[in-house]
Amino acid sequence: MKKKNIKTFFRRLSQKNPKPTTELNYTNNFTLLLAVVLSAQMTDTGVNKVTKKLFSLADSPEKIVRLGEIKIKSLIKTVNFFNTKAKNIIKLSIILIKNFNSIVPKTREELQTLPGVGRKTANVILSVAFKKATIAVDTHIFRVSNRTKIAIGKKPIDVELGLEKIVPEKYKKIAHHLLILHGRYVCKARNPECYKCVVNDLCLLKKKIFITVPKILEYRNCNISKIKQSIELLKKN
């Protein structure tokens, strides 16, 4: 994508969503850290359901340790890999108490010393908690970047480094959430909603799906299978 189009790309996303932010619920940097750790291979909605109770009981490393692994497992049992995540939550809490005075560290290197915290999780914390210009490449950002061709890469790190080079300075601190939310609600993995995309004319995806509002209204009384068939036909054209 051309440089001038990249600027327009992020300007339009920003105009559509002026104050993008995480959809994970949290009360402080520590609970944000736990929420992000729990969100691995989970939806934010699913995480928010379990953290509501968890955070009401424990919102600090000391309280988490006192709560104990068995209790934590019972509270997060609907989360994928809850056994491993419960162990990591206890371990990272102990490390925060011993090595960081119970304060969530502000560098990627320090964050990645915590169990369950990889580069992506660390980047989310840096972006949300400390307003750093980092981009955590999740499945949404990876898809949007490759699909639109703003940053192409076979691995998340390739896309991350590519985005760091091309995102205009003005949008560096919000690019992470602009791309995630665009991928989550518009540029979806299956059946991207190109018809309501504000950057569809800039996107380099060859086969876009355009369904006009009148066409959607026309489908109101159709069954789901007929709608799916119509979408597949549009994909082929």
Residue with tokens 């509270």: 75
Is the separation of the CB atoms in 124 and 111 below 8 Å?
no
Q: Choosing from 91, 120, 170, 208, which is the catalytic residue? A: 120
Residue with tokens 């490449």: 137
Q: What six digits make up the tokens of 182? A: 């665009």
| Enclosing H/E stretch for 227 | helix 224-236
Quote the CA–CA distance of 45 and 233 in Å, as a whole number: 32
**120 in catalytic set:** yes
What count of other Cβ atoms lies within 10 Å of the Cβ of residue 6?
18
Is the separation of the CB atoms in 141 and 180 below 8 Å?
yes
Is the separation of the CB atoms in 138 and 180 below 8 Å?
yes
Is the separation of the CB atoms in 64 and 58 below 8 Å?
yes
Is the separation of the CB atoms in 69 and 110 below 8 Å?
no
Residue 217: CB partners within 8 Å, gap ≥ 6? none
Q: Choosing from 44, 138, 215, 226, which is the catalytic residue? A: 138
Which residue intervals of 130-222 are DSSP H helices?
A: 139-148, 156-166, 175-185, 213-218
Phi-psi region of 41 (alpha: psi -120 to 50; beta: other; left: phi over 0): left
Residues with catalytic function: 120, 138
